[in-house]
Amino acid sequence: MKNQKTVAVCAGAALLLGAASCARQTKEAAKEKTAFQVSTEWRPTQDARPDVAIVYGFGNEKSFADRLKSWSDRGYTTHFMTGIAWGGCEAYFSGEWDGKEHLDEGQISEEGDSITHGWRYGPYVVPSLNYVKFFQERIIAPVIDAGVDAIYLEEPEFWAKSGYSDGFKREWQDYYGFPWRDQALSIENTYLSNKLKYQLYFRALNEVFKYAKEYGKTKGMDVRCYVPTHSLVNYSQWNIISPEASLASSPYVDGYIAQVWTGTAREATFYNGLEKERVFENAFLEYGSMESMTRPTGRKTFFLTDPIEDGDIDWEDYKTNYEATFTAQLLYPQIADYEVMPWPDRVYESAHKTCATCEERTTIPRFYSAQLQVMVNSLNDIPLSDNKVSGSQGIGVLMANSMMFQRYPNHKGYEDVQFSHFYGQTLPLLKRGIPVSIVHIENTEFPDTWKDLKVLVMSYSNMKPLDPAGHQYIAQWVKDGGALLYTGKDNDPYQLVMDWWNTGDNHYKAPSEHLFEQLGLTPAPQTGTYPVGKGTVYVLREEPKDFVMKPNNDAAYFATVQKAFAGTLETKNSLYLERGNYIIAAVMDESVSAEPLVLTGSFIDLFDPALPVLQTKTINPGEQAYLYNLSQIKDKSKPTVVCGGARIYQEASKKGTYSFVAKGPIGTYNVMRIYLPQQPKEVKITATGNSNISQDSNTWDEASHTYLAKFENSPDGVAVAINY
């Protein structure tokens, strides 16, 4: 992250942690650009060579220590990850820890079913303070004792369909001060139930991370704490409650892993009346919600992609959607840290169908492993960039954590099919080539939230503000010259739930009335345009979901956005970005044009495992591209590996010679292009054990001055020596 962002988070955290600790964390985190999470000991088939191996699950102490050491011995920085909501807590639920079973603290559905990961003592947890104490003593302390200084507690998930266990009922009584109410009986109960679920995991993570930092200090360690989590978009779609954006302001949270992949991004959405998968667009919005959640607070954020997914599908499907999600993550140039994959054993060792209609199964095809190795290794190199994605900048859509509160259970008088209120505000812009951003109401107090924002679109049709503070920041931004577009009828039954806007001294019929009051307008302005200070408020009394669920029904919405933008609003069917030597592009279908995007220059196609050198690249609607721009090589006198399916070590260059060692997982094929000032006279490639590798397929491309080398990967290294 840039210095200004690091300074901002250190200032916020200094009150509780001390400014010095923030500086040390930032220095350590800077060395950790790429990572993957692993549950096994080191194996040569998994050695994809990111910076960090995040060892998953504590288990018994010896097993964890052995796994940790096996990766450390191979040169990896080692961190620790486990789930905060499930798994590894058998001793708590079985009674082994304190002599009492705690199955009443599992998440239970209305039907009385335990929501588990498949075994009796592995339920999703209602995180009581007693459970927090267990977690601190039995997991966090031993991990820190083992020398780990970075802890990831993933997926703080409370299922919306749960809320019926005795443990949850006790927490309800403690939090609200009155007896538990069945969430299925009223919208009011649903809102209160989901709000409590949200608060319980915020408390749990805050307490566990606070303990980790304090316990680490007793060992002379500066422990960093991260939350790997699905996006707010996906949790809202999947009816899961999680603290999300509020954690970004916690002084004990150092960052996140944005868990976005094919399995989340392929969730069907409505657009122009049609429900279907829109993987690229959905991934772009998911990553955007994570980037905007953390950027104003300066937290470190890893973006995750997965070359396969949880569902047992076929390799071609995995490949197509991996390219879509991979492209989407790279279109955020202020993020350059990545979890390159979860579970490398699943990627490299598991068998899946060879095609959608085939019964034959195979481990990862050679062409795909070669391609993904090139893609993964590029993430070690791709830089932060101040460049902007092509298109009109400065349009944001407001989100709030309470989006998760209105999704389940369904009640008569309210439905938000496939989360369409959100997509009604975002897809009509994104599909027109506008790189719409996300604004989190929880971050409105941070100045960076408002940087370069021209138009803010918001609605309370699918969310409610958890406190009134955001309204004063929104109102001040408008008065200072911003353009606010408020859309929605404010007549959904969730407007009437018991919360700050209608309790105590407040008697607003809807939370928007408080916002409009702050803006100096009447409580319920009708469709129209209203000057406020130096800015303008636009009101559109239509439900956002209707912009996408009804065919050809977003014209009025888009026209209002155009008016609010007060300038030329560029529409197109593509997004394009240059980051250092890399070009990232996507062309969308269902857009303003069916024309392809045609790029000319000198490129290496990083989505093609043959790594061809191209002068023209045509990207059709529904496709993405990832290119290495050879014209951006600055020093033409210096040899370098520009791309390849192995990580490079021990690089050495003298006049007329260039050498290095390439390492990658066994069983995969390394294809790489090496830039050289002149055509090589001799290339010697030597595997472990000093056996030469055949050069038959290796070729020189005079136009690009690149040498194409191909050989089997080895985790022990393959030495390459070139004379030119």
pLDDT at 10 over 50: no
Torsion sign (Cα): 141, 145, 151, 157: negative
- Asked whether 402 and 239 are in contact (CB, 8 A), the reply is no
10 Å CB burial of residue 91 (0-12, 13-18, 19+) is middle
Greater confidence (233 vs 410) lies with: 233
Q: Is the peptide bond before 551 cis (omega within 30 degrees of 0)?
A: no
The tokens for 541 are 């009394």
Question: Among 433, 715, 467, which Cα is nearest to 593's?
Answer: 433
pLDDT at 29 over 80: no
pLDDT at 371 over 90: yes
pLDDT at 122 over 90: no
Confidence of residue 514 (pLDDT cuts 50, 70, 90): very high
Average pLDDT rounded to a whole number, residues 333-345: 97
Q: What is the mean pLDDT of the chain?
A: 93
pLDDT at 12 over 50: no
- Asked whether 219 and 185 are in contact (CB, 8 A), the reply is no
Dump pLDDT digits (tens) for 458-510: 999 999 999 999 999 999 999 999 999 999 999 999 999 999 999 999 999 99
Q: What is the pLDDT of residue 13?
A: 32
Residue keyed to tokens 């796994």: 67
- pTM strictly above 0.85: yes
What span, in angstroms and rounded, lies between the C-alpha atoms of 575 and 542? 29
Question: Among 142, 159, 143, 162, which Cα is nearest to 151's?
Answer: 143
Q: What is the pLDDT of residue 119?
A: 73
- Across the strands, what pairs with 442? none
Confidence of residue 175 (pLDDT cuts 50, 70, 90): very high
Q: What is the pLDDT of residue 23?
A: 33
Q: What are phi and psi of 637, to 5 degrees?
A: -95, -5
Q: What are phi and psi of 198, to 5 degrees?
A: -60, -45
Confidence of residue 412 (pLDDT cuts 50, 70, 90): confident
Greater confidence (25 vs 572) lies with: 572
The tokens for 326 are 């991979």
What span, in angstroms and rounded, lies between the C-alpha atoms of 300 and 26? 8
What span, in angstroms and rounded, lies between the C-alpha atoms of 444 and 535? 17
Dump pLDDT digits (tens) for 549-588: 999 999 999 999 999 999 899 999 999 999 999 999 999 9
Greater confidence (244 vs 565) lies with: 565
Segment among 194-203, 290-299, 515-524, 525-534 with least mean pLDDT? 290-299
Q: What is the pLDDT of residue 61?
A: 64
Rg of the Cα atoms in the chain: 26
Percent of the chain with pLDDT over 90: 89
Average pLDDT rounded to a whole number, residues 680-691: 84
